[in-house]
């Protein structure tokens, strides 16, 4: 083991500053749709965020992900058309005022962002039997989502916005990108510098939906397991941490 | 907007120190199975990592996750028995030397860690039609996985190990935890202080599987889209960032 590795291993808790950095990325991360700038992304920055994705956890150390960097205007125009078709269908699923609100939202930055990135999952990457996937076959897809989240946080730290485009037929993505049968398009992302990051999620700002109180989402020992008096301190700590998070720190 | 929020908004790129903290958490995160200590986790630490999970991205701002904190020895014994059943089945799926290696691996810390945590996805949390889930119904499950990854990174920064137990029948988890029909058990985690973090993933150390070269996982504009000469600088940056990551920095 190198000295660096040994030093790292003994560093059990990250320093206050390092922890603050992680929490800032988590609290400041946004799903960006409307604030992209066309500026190019530096190669070293793009490389770092891809490495962050590659260091995600993966079931059986399978590393099932691939990264398709989409820059061609023709390819992006095809993706945009597929989004438009799906989005028109989606708008019809909402009623009245909600449908009106839906149509007013900008939900993608496919042509605005300088780079699109499709993160895929190759379900055959490590053969048919994968350690840890034997009883939960979706684990490789979940690993790929962990890579998406790592990349998203690293992008935020590097000042890049990411928007996840999920209003699209997976079969359209498959056809446009030429994905083989065993490869699942998990996330289609728009990626680029931004004019600014919103202080709150856009759907919160627009009144679409509010942040839920975390203490309502916590149970003990079972789905309906209520807190006992010995959990009072934890529930108080939850409310305190949540109040601080709403101010951008934790 | 408060002054704090305005200051935050203008902070486009996090400071070098903050970025370093995020990358340290990402590179130092491990799937912990064998290094758990029985020590209690402080309430404020547990609260912070749950808030980190709650600030994950979610489709349509749905926040479909719930957190079941499992501490009862009886419940954990039931979960451990369900793991043992599944693990015995799993071992039979590997052949020869691989099966032997599989049986030698410690794959969970259910009874060793002071806390287990089941993170679930309530598919009905925001009604039947969810913005962004209309064409990819799995998006709420993926949102929940983002919460798992946020929590995992925050735990690493706080000096806590996390191990994801996926070798278990989801139906067993459902029965033991009393989950209603619409609630999916996405991740069953073991959580606690650790004696040390391994310098490399355990499956890499044991020779089960090696880390893949990232440049082999990157394509351009389509699945088989090769790099052009203008991509040389990016590929060089990828190799450089990957070499640094292997040393624990980026």
Q: pLDDT band for position A210 (50/70/90)?
A: very high
CATH number of B124's domain = 3.40.109.10
Does any CB of chain B come closer than 8 Å to the CB of residue A227?
no
Alpha carbon A160 to its chain centroid, in Å, reads 13
* Predicted TM-score of the model (pTM): 0.96
Q: Mean of the per-residue pLDDT values for chain A?
A: 95
Contacting residues of B for A245, CB less than 8 Å apart:
51, 54-55
Q: What angle do CA B135, A57, A135 make, to 5 degrees?
A: 70
Residue A182: partners with Cβ closer than 8 Å, 6 or more residues away: A122, A123, A124
| Same domain, residue pair A172 and A238 | no
Same domain, B125 and B219: no
Asked if residues B210 and A60 have their Cβ atoms less than 8 Å apart, the reply is no
Domain of residue B233, residue span = 211-250
Put simply, the answer to whether A177 touches B222 (Cβ < 8 Å) is yes
CA–CA distance, B158 with A112 (Å, rounded to integer): 38
Is A219 in the same domain as A132? Answer: no
Query: What string of DSSP letters covers A51-65?
Result: HHHHTS--GGG---E
The arrangement of strands across the sheet holding B65-70 comes to: A218-220, B65-70, B115-122, B183-193, B160-164
Q: How many residues does chain A have?
A: 250
Is the same domain home to A110 and A58? yes
pLDDT in tens, B68-90: 999 999 999 999 999 999 999 99
How many helices (H) does chain A have, and how many strands (E)?
9, 5
Q: According to the model, what pLDDT value does residue A11 have?
A: 64
A40 pLDDT more than 50: yes
How many domains does the structure of chain B reveal?
2
Q: Do A26 and B131 touch (CB under 8 A)?
A: no
Question: Six-digit token pair at B250?
Answer: 């980026």
- Segments in chain B forming alpha helices (H): 3-10, 16-28, 43-54, 73-91, 96-104, 139-157, 170-177, 202-205, 232-246
Residue A11 domain-assigned? no
Give the residue from chain B lying closest to A82, CA to CA: B135
pLDDT in tens, A125-151: 999 999 999 999 999 999 999 999 999
Q: From the DSSP assignment, how many helices (H) and strands (E) are in chain B?
A: 9, 5
Provide mean pLDDT across the span B32-54: 97
pLDDT for position A1: 46
Question: Model confidence over A158-192: pLDDT tens digits?
Answer: 999 999 999 999 999 999 999 999 999 999 999 99
- A57 and A119 part of one domain: yes
Who's near A84: CB < 8 A, 6+ residues apart?
A: none
Distance from the Cα of A112 to chain B's closest Cα (Å) equals 16
pLDDT the model gives residue B1: 46
Domain identity same for A200 and A106? yes
Asked whether the CA dihedral B197, B200, B202, B205 is positive or negative, the reply is negative
Report yes or no: A162 and B164 within 8 Å, Cβ to Cβ. Answer: no
């Amino acid at each position: 083991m190198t000295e660096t590795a040994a030093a790292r291993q003994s560093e059990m808790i990250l320093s206050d500053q390092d922890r603050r950095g992680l929490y800032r990325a988590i609290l400041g991360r946004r799903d960006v749709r409307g604030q992209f700038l066309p500026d190019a992304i530096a190669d070293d920055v793009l490389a770092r965020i891809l490495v962050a994705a590659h260091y995600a956890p993966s079931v059986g150390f399978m590393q099932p992900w691939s990264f398709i960097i989409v820059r061609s205007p023709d390819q992006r125009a095809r993706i945009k058309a597929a989004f438009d078709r799906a989005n028109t269908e989606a708008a019809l699923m909402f009623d009245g005022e909600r449908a009106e609100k839906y149509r007013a939202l900008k939900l993608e930055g496919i042509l605005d962002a300088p780079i699109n990135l499709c993160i895929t999952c190759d379900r055959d990457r490590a053969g048919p039997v994968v350690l840890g996937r034997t009883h939960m076959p979706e684990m490789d897809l979940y690993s790929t989502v962990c890579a998406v989240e790592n990349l998203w946080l690293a992008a935020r730290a590097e000042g890049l916005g990411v928007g996840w485009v999920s209003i699209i037929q997976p079969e359209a993505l498959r056809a446009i990108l030429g994905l083989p049968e065993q490869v699942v398009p998990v996330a289609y992302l728009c990626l680029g510098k931004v004019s600014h990051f919103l202080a709150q999620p856009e759907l919160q700002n627009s009144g679409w939906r509010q942040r839920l109180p975390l203490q309502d989402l916590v149970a003990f020992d079972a789905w309906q397991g209520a807190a006992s008096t010995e959990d009072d301190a934890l529930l108080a700590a939850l409310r305190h941490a949540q109040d601080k998070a709403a101010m951008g720190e934790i």
